[in-house]
Amino acid sequence: MAERIIMPKAGMAMEEGKIIKWLVAEGESVEKGEPLLEIETDKVSMEIEANASGTLIKILAQNGDTVPVIQTIGYIGTPGEKIEEAAAPQSAPAAKKIGDGYDVIVVGGGPAGYVAAIKAAQLDGKVALIEKDTVGGTCLNRGCIPTKTYLKSAEILEHITSSAYRGITVDKKAVAFDMKAALANKNDVVGKLTGGVAALLKSNGVDVIRGEGVVKSADTVAVGDKKYSANSIIYAGGSIPGRIGIPGIDSELVLTSDDILDIDEVPGKLAVIGGGVIGVELGLAFAAFGSSVTIIEMMDTIVPNMDADVSSLLKKELEARGVQILTSVKLTKIEEGAGGLTMVLEDGTRIAADKALLSIGRKPDVSGIEALGMQMESGRIKVDARMETSIPGVYAPGDVNGRSMLAHAAFKMGEVAAENAMGGSAEFDATIVPASIYTTPEVGAVGLTEAQAAEKHDIRIGRFPFAANGRALASGEGTGFVKTICDKQYGQVLGVHIIGPNAAEMINEAASLMNLEITDDELSEMIHAHPTYSESLMEAAADALGKCIHLPKK
């Protein structure tokens, strides 16, 4: 099917663009990312790149034409392809039924699965959801929600113990933490949310089938001895904790991120294997609860996927809260004795621990679909932008495809899979997906890091510290900064990185504006309420342009 070339919306105020020059002629081949044409707006001149590889089969708007944003100006496809068919709007016709079976069967009730089931039901599908555990998946039961519940307790403890700064005297000897009560609170929160998901499925008419679903063919799923048929299958098996093959790793004292969320006693000494998001969040939480925490990370920095400036400051802040962090080290074995565990590093260093948390990331759970023999990539199910696998009619959104192992990305992938399973035409775009770390201070990131952006662009950096933000200072949260990374030529915001108060909330504004292809000039002119933390985003954009009012002149 031919791909449309559209006049982009290069900035929030842009309503139209003028075509200066086509750089490729009709009938010529192009590669994805190759410049196709030059356009001019009221603010910038820029090149439009090909969104697919193929042949420029039709130009609809010529040099000198002024075209409204989003309007189709050409097509890339295969020579001889009928554009009229490709250009026709894609409706979502009702899927064909197979006897008394379902339109869609969803295997797995996590963020991708339950959203897919509800979306397909909203599109008038007859839908079944198969779940072997409790609906909600890892996120609600053993991940995002339980972890954030514990981190909120850690945050409250920090506020109490530092309250003297505000003139509030607290007898620190009287402050105690009850792990059993915290566990009960966590379970209560999880129960409310999973119960809410179950109610949503019921209200949308989704049949929930309890048991382990095994996909037998492109239209059949088995649960035990019973088989169910469907026109389309959405496999959303989620993920399981990753493991490493070293001696001692199978000790009962080595906990996964699933296990540690159900313990009812605080370990005296906790070794955290892996300094990624899971490791730093749970390490900080248990340090606040009273554990002596050591994080062991093989890379040269914690949370290595984050911008280097953010990772560096987060390490410093965690250490200030009592967390010992060892980077560029390799764990070779774990010894278990009467006194607990000993973590043995490659250089001979020995670290004593009562328990260890294995947090080296998660891997796709493909145990229910292996019989189909579909195409895989490094243990992940290969899917296209429609979330369809190599087997037509079988879709695999969420962690199982490894594209973005975040719950909010899984939500969107689930919706896309459901629309396509019901006969529609939708695609998942992972270009702008925000990510957060719920430590103290929080971290939020979207787009390219400085190192990634510098590889492909001539960039300018904006930076505004929370130490210069009125709301942050009034709240005693002046640590951290907002950092913007922008393209010098066009001003497009390529990445935003935040470490500081409310970073996980603020990053959503940045992601929304980046989806609109905002420029730093436009962002710097946006009025924000004062005093708010989010003013710092506007200020950082202004700093990139050398016009920040609330920073000393450079």
Report whether CATH 3.50.50.60 matches the domain 254-360: yes
CATH number of 3-87: 2.40.50.100
* Residues with Cβ within 8 Å of residue 300, at least 6 apart in sequence: 327, 328
pLDDT of 357 strictly over 50: yes
Per-residue confidence at 13, pLDDT binned at 50, 70, 90? Answer: low
- Stronger pLDDT, 33 or 178, i.e. the higher one: 178
Flag the least confident range among 206-215, 362-371, 445-454: 362-371
Residues pairing with 505 in the sheet = none
Neighbour-count burial for 313-338, b at 16+ CB within 10 Å, e otherwise: bbbebbeeeebbbbbebebeebeeee
Give the residue-averaged pLDDT of 462-487.
Answer: 96
Question: 140: closest CA among 101, 114, 166?
Answer: 114
pLDDT at 553: 86
pLDDT at 461: 97
Run of H or E residues at 147:
helix 144-161
Neighbour-count burial for 253-273, b at 16+ CB within 10 Å, e otherwise: ebbbbeebbeeeebbebbbbb
| Three-state secondary structure call for residue 371 | helix
pLDDT at 11: 59
pLDDT at 93: 39
pLDDT of 344 strictly over 60: yes
Residues pairing with 305 in the sheet = none
**Which phi and psi angles does 201 have, rounded to 5°?**
-65, -45
CATH architecture type of domain 441-544: 2-Layer Sandwich (3.30)
Give the residue-averaged pLDDT of 268-277.
Answer: 96
Give strand ranges (E) for 418-551: 435-437, 442-447, 459-465, 481-487, 493-500
Give the residue extent of every domain in the chain.
Answer: 3-87, 102-241+364-421, 254-360, 441-544
Neighbour-count burial for 521-545, b at 16+ CB within 10 Å, e otherwise: bbbbeeeeeeebbbbbbbbbbbbbb
| Dihedral angle over CA of 218, 220, 221, 226, nearest 10 | -170
Q: Which fold has domain 102-241+364-421?
A: FAD/NAD(P)-binding domain (3.50.50)
Question: Model confidence over 360-402: pLDDT tens digits?
Answer: 989 999 998 988 889 999 999 999 999 999 999 999 999 999 9
Give dist(CA 155, CA 135) in Å, integer.
Answer: 28
- Stronger pLDDT, 84 or 478, i.e. the higher one: 478
Percent of the chain with pLDDT over 90: 75
Flag the least confident range among 25-29, 43-47, 218-222, 269-273: 43-47
pLDDT of 255 strictly over 70: yes
Per-residue confidence at 86, pLDDT binned at 50, 70, 90? Answer: very low
pLDDT at 478: 95
Fold equal for 3-87 and 102-241+364-421 = no
pLDDT at 89: 34
pLDDT at 316: 97
| Three-state secondary structure call for residue 10 | coil
| 41-55, 156-170, 313-327: range with highest mean pLDDT | 313-327
Percent of the chain with pLDDT over 70: 95
* Residues with Cβ within 8 Å of residue 515, at least 6 apart in sequence: 432
Give dist(CA 111, CA 48) in Å, integer.
Answer: 35
pLDDT of 462 strictly over 90: yes
| Residues marked as catalytic | 530
**521, two tokens:** 């000039």
Flag the least confident range among 173-177, 320-324, 515-519: 173-177
pLDDT of 207 strictly over 50: yes
Per the prediction, the chain carries an average pLDDT of 91
Question: 343: closest CA among 245, 242, 248?
Answer: 248
Give dist(CA 324, CA 292) in Å, integer.
Answer: 8
pLDDT of 43 strictly over 80: no
pLDDT at 96: 40
Neighbours of 172 (CB within 10 A): 10
